[in-house]
């Protein structure tokens, strides 16, 4: 019945929480450390305003390192440009800002042009960082950012996946050139494999038939092997570069760590064969925050160009930066892999909505082994 409602346009026929004026949410009113998080019951409900809007009652949300960084102001310059491209509103218009990039929940209202979703549908989504986040009762997104939640997962489990999935797929497919059809027996190295992006990427690549080597701490070896990693290098014991150097060369490196890795990891790639180094740790947002939009973007662009040029000319390997990209249809494919048992959620810690500050503290301690999830409703 929900599909029928959707086809006829559900805006006028579905029940909606429009009688409610405000909702419960965790917000920040300024950038800073843990003290800036504030719970409120007085955030206006984000109602459906456009034809392709989907309003979702959030059941669970999860946290990413980006939430910690955004709490401190990371990326504000570029994100504010995206929020308000013409600078029509006064500065600090992003506050009160709601963090939280993942959600699993239930559709409660749809715009008249929405064809794929209807009230009552269980969905999951990764929320672009320029939009209000999921540490709130309701979120409104466009239908293209939303996907049906895997039936085999609870909301808590489902909320652990969308943002890392969209990020990993953007990095491995768009930047790394991998896909289901061409990954068989490709040699891929994942650094920082015990965290959110890493634990998802291992499983995706194994589902695609790749050979996966990872770096992580010794006490994460059981976790990553359980998810399918073929070879595990403990970066805390001895010289990690030396150990990786003794292995057969790689087709793709997915770098979740950054630090000094770029200085020595290029030689681990197969030369002159289209191999790619893809890092998720780029200076773009830091540059625009510290130098302003124009100078920061130019500086970052120059850095990327120089490194890419140097690597392609010296050893024939591609050097690329990767970023999260919103993509509901991609999550449909992930949903199928999850329901087929090929990708498992890795929920390390779970907090009630009343303990969002404690969830942030957990994240701040680092050493993630999968994801930290918040039960919203």
Pair 256, 192: CB distance under 8 Å: yes
CB of 350 to ligand NDP, least distance (A): 15
CA distance 294 to 329: 33
CA distance 277 to 311: 10
CB of 262 to ligand NDP, least distance (A): 13
CA distance 167 to 324: 4
CA 328 to chain centre: 12
CB of 66 to ligand NDP, least distance (A): 6
Site residues (vs ligand NDP, CB under 6 A):
64-65, 164, 167, 191-192, 194-198, 215-217, 235, 256-257, 280-281, 323-324, 366-368
The residue number with the shortest CB distance to ligand NDP is 195
Structure tokens at 210: 């790749």
CB of 59 to ligand NDP, least distance (A): 21
Residue closer to ligand NDP (CB basis): 195 or 228: 195
Residue closer to ligand NDP (CB basis): 190 or 275: 190
Q: Angle 328-339/196-207 helices, nearest 10 degrees?
A: 70
Residue closer to ligand NDP (CB basis): 118 or 161: 161
Pair 60, 156: CB distance under 8 Å: yes
CA distance 300 to 287: 7
Residue closer to ligand NDP (CB basis): 117 or 250: 250
Residue closer to ligand NDP (CB basis): 140 or 167: 167
CA distance 109 to 300: 41
Residue closer to ligand NDP (CB basis): 235 or 319: 235
DSSP string across 274-285: T-EEEES--SHH
CB of 88 to ligand NDP, least distance (A): 27
CB of 191 to ligand NDP, least distance (A): 5
């Amino acid at each position: 019945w929900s599909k029928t409602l959707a086809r006829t346009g559900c805006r006028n026929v579905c029940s909606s929480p429009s009688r409610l004026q405000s909702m419960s949410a965790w917000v920040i009113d300024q950038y800073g450390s843990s003290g800036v998080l504030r719970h409120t019951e007085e955030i206006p409900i984000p109602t459906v305003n456009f034809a392709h809007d989907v309003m979702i009652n959030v059941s669970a949300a999860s946290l990413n390192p980006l939430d910690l960084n955004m709490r401190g102001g990371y990326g504000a310059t570029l994100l504010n440009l995206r929020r308000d491209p013409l600078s029509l509103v006064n500065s600090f218009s992003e506050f009160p800002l709601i963090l939280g990039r993942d959600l699993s929940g239930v559709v409660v209202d749809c715009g008249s042009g929405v064809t794929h979703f209807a009230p009552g549908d269980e969905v999951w989504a990764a929320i672009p960082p320029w939009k209000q986040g999921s540490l709130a009762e309701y979120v409104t997104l466009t239908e293209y950012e939303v996907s049906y939640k895997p039936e085999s997962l609870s909301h808590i489990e489902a909320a652990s996946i969308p943002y890392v999935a969209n990020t990993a797929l953007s990095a491995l497919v768009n930047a790394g050139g991998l896909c289901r059809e061409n990954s068989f027996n490709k040699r891929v190295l994942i650094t920082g494999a015990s965290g959110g992006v890493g634990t998802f990427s291992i499983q995706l690549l194994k589902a695609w038939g790749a050979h996966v080597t990872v770096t992580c701490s010794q006490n994460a070896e059981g976790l990553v092997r359980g998810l399918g990693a073929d070879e595990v290098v403990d970066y805390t014991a001895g010289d990690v570069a030396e150990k990786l150097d003794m292995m057969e060369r790689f087709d793709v490196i997915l770098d979740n760590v950054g630090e000094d890795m770029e200085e020595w990891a290029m030689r681990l790639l197969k030369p002159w064969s289209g191999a790619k180094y893809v890092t998720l740790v780029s200076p773009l947002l830091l540059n625009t925050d510290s130098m302003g939009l124009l100078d920061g973007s130019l500086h970052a662009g120059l850095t990327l160009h120089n490194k890419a040029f140097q690597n392609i000319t010296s050893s024939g390997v591609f050097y690329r930066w990767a970023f999260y990209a919103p993509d509901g249809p991609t999550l449909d494919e992930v949903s199928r892999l999850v329901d087929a048992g090929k990708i498992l959620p890795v929920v390390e810690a779970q907090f009630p909505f009343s303990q969002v500050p404690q969830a942030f503290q957990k994240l701040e301690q680092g050493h993630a082994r999968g994801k930290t999830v918040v039960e919203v409703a």
